[in-house]
Structure 1
Amino acid sequence: MILLLIRQCITHKVFRVTPTNPHHLKWLKQLGRQKHYDFWKEPTALHRPADVMVHPSKVELMMTSLLDLKMNHYVTIDDVQRQIDDQGSAKTKSESDFEDYMNYGQMEDWLSYTVSICGSRCELINLGQSYEGRNIWIVKISTGGIKRGIWLDAGIHAREWLAHHTGLYIIDRFVHDYGVDPDVDFILEHYDVYILPVVNPDGYVYTWTDDRMWRKTRNPHNGYDTNPCTGADANRNYDFKWMLIGASNDSCDNTYAGPFAHSEPETALIRDYIFNGNWEAYFALHTYGQLWLLPWGYTADDPPTYDELMRVANIGASALTEVYGTRYTVGSSADILYESSGTSRDWAYGHPQAQIPYAFTLELRDKSNFVMPPDQILPTAIETWTGFKASIIAIINGPTK
């Protein structure tokens, strides 16, 4: 059986709340430090909605408090455990089956098989080991020659299962559509593609065995905190504007940035690999929100190449929408999501040893839920694949003269 939000839990609810005055915002931020409240979308600004999962024992108190505060709110998910149960359990999969979720062992088997049938165009690279000793796999797709790289990773936040599987699907398309889809051939004429579908394997395994809503790594950080909680938010752990804003120094918080930049072996391995490559674009897949995010997260100032980044992002988002009508909002992270620092996207674009010209975060379907049913895997993956291809082709073609 799949997991286990918390074994006894059957009535966790998710509230969407919108602070409209400073007292509201202060109250929500204090709530986030308490046990039994898990913010899926952090409270960051007035009139900007936040999502919080509330333990059954605190639901009545939450509703009473929100009414007393006269804070705008509604329940987006009435029973989180029911949605988890509806995701079904892991089962034997065919090599290109995206109709159900895979556990990490199945993903490793799938990657090994898929690379084996790809032949000389594909290479399965072991980036190194996670904190708990799991292999972190990259698939490199190349038609040979010396080319710049396109990087795509997913699964830095363990509970965002739809992102992991979209990364796998993009590998699948590069393998099976070469020689069939002219867009794939065109991209591989210009670039090598590197895809890391599970940045945080320890956390992902933990979402299957203990806590479906786990977000962080599984590094205990003993010796750095008098009362340590396990794990860090790997997407606050990068060495660019680390701990500046939108990150926590409390190891029990979901946005804990770690005791120092690249304290997590997973982000350190990515750093070292990126520094030794020659890159054109960086993509990070997350859920949820239906957002195509540019730098910066740490400031509302526009990045130096804002217009060009917007051009490429808008082309990608428009192509994505054409598939099923799913609409994405495009813009800088600090403008349309929230302020955050130490993120992989800002690091890829802004760190002097990386300086990747194009860097984006895609927040996939939907607008309110990490726990998406299996019938959402394929449509999400297909539309994301279409948008990803279009954005790369836009980079190749350059601005319209």
Structure 2
Amino acid sequence: MNARISNPHVELEERYCAHNYAPLPVVLSRGEGVWLWDDHGRRYLDMMSAYSAVSFGHAHPRLVAALAGQARRLAVTSRAFYSDRLGLFLQRLCEMTAMPRALPMNSGAEAVETAIKAARKWGYRRRGVPDGQARIVVCRGNFAGRTTTIVGFSSEAQYRDGFGPFDGGFDSVPFGDAEALEAAITPHTVAFLVEPIQGEGGIVTPPDGYLRRCREICSRHGVLMICDEVQTGLGRTGKLLACDHEGIRPDGLVLGKALGGGLLPVSAFLASNEVMEVFAPGDHGSTFGGNALSAAVGYEALGLLQDGELFANTREQGHRLAEGLRRIQHPALREIRGRGLMLGMELDPRFIRARTFCERLMTCGVLSKETHETVVRLAPPLVIGSEETDFALQAIRDVFQGLPHHHA
């Protein structure tokens, strides 16, 4: 496509921005609900939600009102002082998740880094692990962010290439294998960090009962179970948290993305009093984490979830989307995975690569993005309705109908 050459906005990004992304050739200028418009006025259905950050849709009126109203009053002072917004936000967050305390940050990666620091210090102070020897078990295929500590335990070669040395302290096991977790635990193991569904890994879902089994193993060995729900949390799978589907409560919880209502970055690490008590003033912090503007938006975003209507809609539309996808009969479609409105289509690259599929979807008025070259993610805002879901399904069917039934 020649948009990179002919569009002045693309040319400016290509000229001045580091080439650390390969965007689809569309220039977006406006969003409302589940719809996006490009700079030529063409409308697209958003089937990605900015990796779940726009779970409430674009420019949700209640969230925009909260943002604007708070911006006129007070935005950022740092946590050198109290504000009249943060306590209310954290109270709502802790009460809804049944976690005693929260430490507010900005990005999901920052919240994961906070979880790692908390788990290590808890291991040294509470478990008696020798200083500098704490270990954390992670899963292959994980994605928890882009910081050097986090990419150090990634199993994706590109995420690590050229960015070492890494600090170590992580043991990797297969995702979905509870026995492998138990085998990896040593006297120096302080935590198990896991995504209930691996998002960037390809919308990979573990076997039923996996999280319950991991919870039992961690409890028996005195190891913290930390669930990274940056993508899966806050209704994305049809419940407040993905771990709610198995009725378990982790020792630590990482939230982000949707917590900012699609308007600004808001994240948090939540944990028990015992874990949070390892932090003293000066141990950890963030200039912007917990600012009044973020707290006001986060408070309102959580309020949108309290009546449960979005959870019900997510389950209904997720079922409608998944069933519609499963009715597509084409050899290029290998598998449909996921839960709620976090779905992935695994494609056979001998027919079409996921990037090409997304480019063709774009011409049909649907925007999404590939992951791991063979998976198209389908994760629209949770406010999507049946008409929009059917629009997406028809676009997907149209792309498949344009493919041959025999691979090259």
TM-score class, shorter-chain normalisation, is under 0.3
Which has the bigger relative contact order, CA under 8 A and spacing at least 6? 2
CA radius of gyration, larger in: 2
